[in-house]
């Protein structure tokens, strides 16, 4: 097997990397320093590694890096910073939806994808949107509240 050069556009930054064809997007991103993309189960069950790929949420452990060649990739860090958090990130903090924090980046990505396509989701729609994200700490109540809070704030114009 020969390495393949791919272009990974992550959070508005372009990276040219030579990777073996079997390298997952998860491992390519982590090797580039995107540690907000968590390595959980590595088989698509937990959602800790979720990113937006051309606007769609995907588990980066199930995508080969070459499949993302030239695509727009957004991680949790690409949504906001500590100084200027995205409204969804802020809502997660305000609702106490992050305990250990391991699942939070993937949850935020799933919430972003949901709110982009459905600005006023029902509780059932929120539950469905985060169904691929496992959390062992919160019991999901605070996470659902956080997504509802983010939806409210976004509809009031205080967010993206």
What tokens appear for 50 in the block? 């979720």
Residues 79, 111 contacting (CB under 8 angstroms): no
What tokens appear for 140 in the block? 């999901």
Provide the residue ranges of all domains of the chain, joining segments of one domain with +. 4-78, 80-155
Of the CATH numbers 3.90.1150.10, 3.30.300.90, 3.30.70.20, 3.10.20.30, which one belongs to the domain with range 4-78?
Answer: 3.10.20.30
Alpha-carbon distance of 134 to 15, in angstroms, equals 30
The whole-number pLDDT of residue 159 equals 56
Report the half-sphere exposure of 103 (CA within 13 A, side-chain side).
Answer: 23
The whole-number pLDDT of residue 158 equals 59
Q: How far is CA 66 from CA 21, 45, 94, 157, in A?
A: 7, 22, 38, 37
Residue 9: strand pairing partners: 14, 72
Beta-strand pair 13-19/4-10? antiparallel
Alpha-carbon distance of 39 to 60, in angstroms, equals 9
Of the CATH numbers 1.10.260.40, 1.10.150.120, 3.40.50.150, 3.30.70.260, which one belongs to the domain with range 80-155?
Answer: 1.10.150.120
Q: What is the pLDDT along the chain (160 residues), one digit of tens a residue?
A: 899 999 999 999 999 999 999 999 999 999 999 999 999 999 999 999 999 999 999 999 999 999 999 999 999 999 998 899 999 999 999 999 988 889 999 999 999 999 999 999 999 999 999 999 999 888 899 999 999 999 999 999 855 5
The whole-number pLDDT of residue 160 equals 59
What tokens appear for 134 in the block? 């496992």
Alpha-carbon distance of 157 to 150, in angstroms, equals 11
């Amino acid at each position: 097997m020969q390495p393949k050069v791919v272009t990974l556009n992550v959070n508005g930054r372009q990276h040219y990397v030579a990777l073996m064809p079997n390298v997952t997007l998860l491992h390519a991103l982590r090797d580039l320093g995107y540690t907000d993309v968590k390595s959980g189960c590595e088989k698509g069950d937990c959602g800790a590694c979720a990113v937006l790929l051309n606007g769609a949420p995907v588990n980066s452990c199930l995508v080969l890096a070459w499949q993302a060649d030239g695509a727009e990739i957004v991680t949790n860090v690409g949504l906001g910073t500590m100084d200027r958090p995205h409204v969804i990130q802020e809502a997660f903090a305000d609702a106490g939806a992050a305990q250990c924090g391991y699942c939070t980046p993937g949850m935020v990505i799933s919430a972003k994808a949901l709110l982009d396509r459905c600005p006023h989701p029902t509780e059932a729609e929120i539950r469905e949107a985060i169904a691929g994200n496992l959390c062992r700490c919160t019991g999901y109540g605070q996470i659902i509240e956080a997504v509802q809070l983010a939806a409210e704030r976004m509809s009031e114009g205080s967010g993206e």
